């Protein structure tokens, strides 16, 4: 992973890997949008898996006494969006990820290595 990636982003990525995220990609969108620096996109194999990963990230980035953001989910948790300020996390079940194809939408973004 790039040395320029913020430490909290590295922790988020490791947390997702620990929870067995599938097809994880991180896009650097700093030059494309003004509201965040990174999009994190991953896949879970069930609504429970997607929810568990989202909860783990939300717990990780909680700031004592600070603003907290609740994840937004569609019914059935086929797509959960979490605004982590400098990153936006999108977790999908497989069919929803194919349907929304965010990687294709943001093809101009630089992909960040997650290894």
Flag whether the pTM goes above 0.75.
Answer: yes
Supply the pLDDT for residue 70: 66
Of the pLDDT bands very low, low, confident and very high (cuts 50, 70, 90), residue 74 is low
Q: Which CATH number fits domain 7-112: 3.40.50.300, 3.30.460.10, 3.40.190.10, 3.60.20.10?
A: 3.30.460.10
Look at the block and give the residue holding tokens 């290595």: 113
Contact status, residue 90 vs residue 73, Cβ threshold 8 Å: no
pLDDT of 68 above 60: no
Sketch the domain layout of the chain as residue ranges.
7-112
pLDDT at residue 64, as a whole number: 53
9-38: per-residue pLDDT in tens?
Answer: 999 999 999 999 999 999 999 999 999 999
- Cα separation, 103 vs 106, in Å, equals 5
């Amino acid at each position: 992973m790039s040395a320029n990636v913020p430490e909290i982003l590295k922790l988020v990525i490791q947390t997702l890997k620990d929870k067995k995220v599938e097809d994880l990609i991180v896009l650097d969108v700093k030059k494309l949008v003004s509201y965040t620096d990174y999009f994190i996109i991953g896949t879970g194999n069930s609504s429970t898996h997607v929810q568990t990963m989202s909860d783990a990230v939300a717990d990780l980035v909680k700031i004592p006494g600070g603003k907290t953001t609740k994840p937004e989910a569609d019914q059935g948790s086929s797509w959960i969006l979490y605004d982590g300020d400098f990153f936006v996390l999108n977790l999908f079940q497989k069919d929803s990820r194919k349907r929304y194809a965010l990687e294709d939408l943001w093809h101009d973004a630089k992909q960040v290595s997650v290894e």
